Amino acid sequence: MENNNNIEIISGCFHNLPKHDIDFLKTQVSYLKGENIFKQGAFAPHVLFVNKGLVKIYLQIGKEKQINICLARQGDYLAFSTIFNKTIYHYSAISLTDTSLCMIEKEAVREVIMRNPDFAIQITSKNSANENRYLDIIKNISYKQMRGKLASTLLYLTSEELKKENVFLHLTRQDIAEFASISVESTVKFLKEFERDGLLSLNGKDIIINNLQGLIDIDTRG
């Protein structure tokens, strides 16, 4: 981890803010690939803004199990809910690539939201999308069989918002299994089945979707 007070990129919702309201973006922190950004249950003094890179967000369940929730990319926020009187991080975050984050005081974010309605609307929109993702995870865990869980995971990881990130090059089969909440063995087995059925192609770590509607049908059937 490296501190840097020179902000390289201002992206996402901050583009539309007046200059004096961007002054709180004073501390940029750089993480190397594989570094822990924060840990579930730790004290949460800041909201973090992804300036560059790709971050995996996950829940630790007991000592040995984790559930991958989502991937955060440039323009996304980490621990945004902590501005509403939350004092700890409710999930963990790890950098999948070299990553730079802006560390923002929670009170500063609250003040900017109050002064800038357009900024507040964009923030609300982003958090609404996160809420939909959480509902999908609950449905997958509660109702779907393993093929449906994996299909849902592949649809998320190849969704429009992540298409430019080449996410599979940064994910192991274990990571994909933890997004789908199934075992690594089942993940490998069903990926090969999906390839045999013409739904996708496997090229090393990369996964190329050949039949999007076929995956959607499996996801829908659960």
Delineate the domains of the chain, giving CATH numbers in brackets: 2-117 (2.60.120.10), 137-221 (1.10.10.10)
Closest CA to 147 of 204, 57, 217, 56: 217
What pLDDT sits at residue 22?
61
Average pLDDT score over the chain = 86
Residue-level pLDDT at 178: 96
Using alpha carbons only, what angle is made at residue 80 by residues 73 and 70, rounded to the nearest 5 degrees? 40
Q: Report, as an integer, the average pLDDT of 95-104.
A: 92
pLDDT band at 211 (very low <50, low <70, confident <90, very high): very high
Is pLDDT of 9 > 50? no
**Nearest alpha-carbon partner for 96 in 129, 66, 74:** 74
Q: What is the mean pLDDT of residues 127-153?
A: 85
User: C-alpha distances in angstroms, 222 versus 129, 147, 175, 219?
Assistant: 22, 7, 21, 5
Q: Determine the average pLDDT of the residues in 151-178.
A: 94
Cβ–Cβ < 8 Å for 192, 141 = no
Predicted TM-score (pTM) of the model is 0.85
In this prediction, residue 129 carries a pLDDT of 72
Question: Range with the lowest mean pLDDT among 15-29, 78-92, 129-143, 147-161?
Answer: 15-29
Helix (H) or strand (E) holding 96: none
Contact 5, 31 (CB under 8 A): no
pLDDT at 13 > cutoff 60: no
Is the model's pLDDT at 8 over the cut of 60? no
> Which strands, in side-by-side order, build the sheet including 36-38?
36-38, 92-95, 55-61, 65-72
